[in-house]
Structure 1
């Protein structure tokens, strides 16, 4: 597919967005603003009424996210019939009151917070109560009650005090979990880890029709591409029906950000993969963003307004680490050249092209100066490092990751160096492969200094079983001297951070096309404080 680059002036995207924003979208009308307030527990509604119990409403589990030193956001979505074709989850078109409790113990003998949120049909009967005023660096337990039923119990944690230097921070990151290509065995093992939080870096769902041998096991309305709100709602319900995914959500707070498949493959700002009319694509994007918010533990600062959604944000873990979650889809220029794997094309180096957009890039760079954290961690959707696919002369790269926006990459890495970022580590999804790489100031200069480190994580299930090292992985190692490691199995990445050292363990499973796979650590790498770049561990 040839993707036509967008113009740099007032675009058809901006014009269409100004027209489409006047339509009825989440966050635009008074009723929707009220629904958001009710769903976050800001106030309750006397009009909300329970429905008599007839089926268990918590089929999609519970979750927490975006922790601060004194709180977090909680999440659940009521869906007694999760795969209902209309996306309603089998719920009535009326609000339902949901009680929540937060306790110091899993038996709820010491409840420290309780309240009520309202699950409205406008938000897919999801609730996002925001909890504050708790003690820092502490484990809490939470649960919900609605329609005569009590939810599973979730466990979460607050971040450490803002001024503290925590001794250690343990987290895992994951991405890419195509439901019809493998079991979520990796989440079964992830849930048994001792972690402070989990990052999900995109492709939580896939928009494609359910494919392969599992087509006969799902209702017919899942055999279409997701393009409308009801499609996206049902697709999330299908993915969230997995017990291992639910358990991983319930065990830890999550930081989440979408990539492309939550909307449409390789989308960029107002451009779809198939160059659909801009107004139609923005409608689809608005529906996709609404469903994403409905199904994720996100704060009201991320509530979509039409086709716009606040996704880039920072979460601090005392003075040890800052997590900066990036949004590399919503503000980017269209992919250069053909948009696919290309021999080096001049357009990808243009200083006028951006993957972050000017405002987000400025916000990111200013954050480098403002932060006192020992480790700067960027949660990123597709590889920042150069991934040359051909050894020898010339460079053959994909245009969708940062390789297609080389000037933006250089601006960010140069700013980190110029502003004295002590330790820059980028954690990334998308590629269905594990990498450990050095981030270079300029990949056109073989003598350019290393200014940061990137760890790219494989998929949970996408592309099936995988292998330890295939042909493409060998090409990457040969063509990219800044690569220390490539692996092509499924799994997740575990990171343990202290003031002196960062350790990354690539946790892999040998197969996902059948259940029950064991997990092992395929390789481990460390980054020493103040010394960018990876070093292998025996």
Structure 2
């Protein structure tokens, strides 16, 4: 196979360069007026936690800014006030009252051409988060945004860049999307987030495991050494989850990725607890009651909403949160965002990795629930877009993990819910769905696979493709071991790529083709690693199947 080649160096546009350089110090500087945010150098090695590098703790914008949920006429702007982000109670040092916050939206990074402005509240009951939903903006446009505390001389936030989606009938402009998953804070530095930001994507999709719930050193990297520590106990209460989100959000590399483009997010398990299923907790001692786990899930869901650029429609009601949804990118792409945690049946075969028991094939088992399944099939059939992008969490294609003739699967993935998967594959064919592309994360490896309607019929024409992104950090440095890679490729004929390095995927879509570049870092045990392209694949519109680029 072709060895990795360096990613070509490209200069950022002046508009985006201001955001990328500014985000290097996001949350670490206090400003007193409204100038553009000051540029700083790329991050240098930091202590095991960021507590000693926050600088002026009076700055309420230590967690940066973000945008998300782009439509043809608007988006969500987000920030969360936390002058003391590592306060043990999770409140970030904020008073127990709402705080007025002003926001500005401009055509230029210097904010000389302000097109919208207003005042809102950082709501105490929502962790002093701010979610500004804007509508009525022109389609297909870039905007800069920022916040400040209301009042004369109020502290200013970092500057973010966002954009509206193209008009509903537009398909002339290509889309560059990046997608990522699995960022275990202890396993490495978040350099992959900064490299992702430097790709200057139009939109970022995050596919789950944004935070991890473990206490320090409870989940040790395969290298045997965690490079930095989680703060606080294993997350179970609202205060715990707020503190953990704050620790992650304070990282400047993550802030850079949020500041450069709107995000479309979904969760997997670690935003609550490893391998939970619906209201069934991971088996452990002491085993929690349903009531105890329901309270934990409610706390996790609220903290997730507080810390993500989501619309008010997603605000949780107790332990329930409507996260599956659909967003349109002109006539080019429909994003069908799934939730495969909240509605799933418990994992088959005792959730034992590498098993092949009959329970996984039971026809009534579902990973997504009947309502979401119908919603997805109806949506991909009627979308009218060139590409139907299904953004979800866990591996979709059948994947044998046991070398040789024996077969063994991951019951936490779609392989534990085979009838549900088959109904979707049948639906793609029977309903004439155009160009289904499944995006997945979770497994801490890069994979690319054709999707056959019937996994045991290797002569069948693919009905779609799956692109699986590796982790940002989870699993530590990793590597590209030939023996492991070749074994997986031999046992899984639909598989075109298997890679165990860290990184993300960048995909460029137009009316004719999708090109996916699998980006990898040399290491995450030290910050500042360069990025390279491990492999690239092309999918022609109207002809499902991966072709090596």
Partner residue, 1:479: 491
Instruction: Tell me what 1:178 maps to.
Output: 184
The equivalent residue for 1:253 is 262
Is 1:240 the counterpart of 2:265? The answer is: no
Q: Which residue does the alignment assign to 1:131?
A: 134
CA distance in 2, matches of 1:214, 1:517: 18
Q: Once the 2 structures are TM-superposed, how far is the Cα of residue 354 of structure 1 from its aligned partner?
A: 0.4
| Counterpart mapping for 1:481-520 below 5 A | 481-520=493-532
Structure 2 residue aligned with 1:108: 111
Matched, 1:204 2:210: yes
5+ residue gaps in structure 1?
A: 1-52
**Superposed CA offset, 1:221-250 (max 9, x none):** x24211111000000111111101001101
Find the partner of 1:76 among 61, 76, 79: 79
How far apart, CA to CA, are the structure 1 residues paired with 2:410 and 2:497? 19
Asked if 1:376 corresponds to 2:379, the answer is no
Match of 1:306 in 2: 318
Alignment partner, residue 430 of structure 2:
418
Residue 192 of structure 1, aligned match among 161, 181, 198: 198
Q: Distance in 2 between matches of 1:210 and 1:252?
A: 31
Aligned length: 483
Asked if the contact 1:166–1:318 (Cα under 8 Å) also holds between the matched residues in 2, the reply is no
Does 2:149 match 1:146? Answer: yes
1:317 and 1:215, CA in 2 relative to 1: closer, same or farther beyond 3 A? Answer: closer
Native 8 Å contact 2:98 2:123 kept in 1: yes
Report the equivalent of 2:172. 166
1:193 deviates by 1.2
- CA RMSD, aligned part only? 1.6
Secondary structure at the aligned position of 2:313 is classed as helix
Deviations 1:168-223 (A, max 9, x none): 0001000001001101111111111131100000000000112269989768xx24
Q: CA 1:105–1:370 in structure 2 vs 1: closer, same or farther (change >3 Å)?
A: same
Look up the match of 2:15.
none
Are positions 1:331 and 2:343 aligned together?
yes
TM-superposed CA distance for 1:445, in Å, is: 3.2
DSSP 3-state at the match of 1:63: strand
Give the SS at the match of 1:436. strand
Runs of 4+ in 1 over 4 A off after TM superposition: 212-219
In the other structure, the counterpart of 2:66 is 63
Gaps of 5+ in 2: 1-55
Matched residues in 2 for 1:509 and 1:305: separation? 40
Q: By how many angstroms is 1:166 displaced? A: 3.1
Conserved in 2, the CA contact under 8 Å of 1:344 and 1:394?
A: no
Indicate if the aligned counterparts of 1:265 and 1:273 stay in contact, CA closer than 8 A.
Answer: yes
Contact 2:88–2:232 (8 Å) recurs in 1:
no
The question of whether the paired residues in 1 share the 8 Å contact of 2:188 and 2:226 is answered with no
2:329 matches 1:317: yes
CA distance, structure 1, for counterparts of residue 172 and residue 293 of structure 2? 45
C-alpha deviation, 1:395, in angstroms: 2.0
Cα-to-partner distance string for 1:13-49 (whole Å, 9 max, x where unaligned): xxxxxxxxxxxxxxxxxxxxxxxxxxxxxxxxxxxxx
TM-score, normalising length from structure 2?
A: 0.86
* CA distance in structure 2 between the partners assigned to 1:319 and 1:70 by the alignment: 15
Say yes or no: does 1:122 pair with 2:134.
Answer: no
What is residue 371 of structure 2 aligned with on the other side?
Answer: 359
Between 255-264 and 271-280, the greater mean CA deviation after superposition = 271-280
- Displacement of 1:54 in angstroms is 7.6
**How far has the Cα of 1:157 moved from its partner?**
0.6
Equivalent positions of 1:260-279 (< 5 A) are 260-274=269-283, 275-279=287-291
> Equivalents in 2 of 1:170, 1:83: separation in Å?
35
Q: Is the 8 A contact 2:176 2:506 kept in 1?
A: yes
Q: Distance in 2 between matches of 1:475 and 1:401?
A: 20
**Counterpart-to-counterpart distance in 2, 1:399 and 1:470:** 26
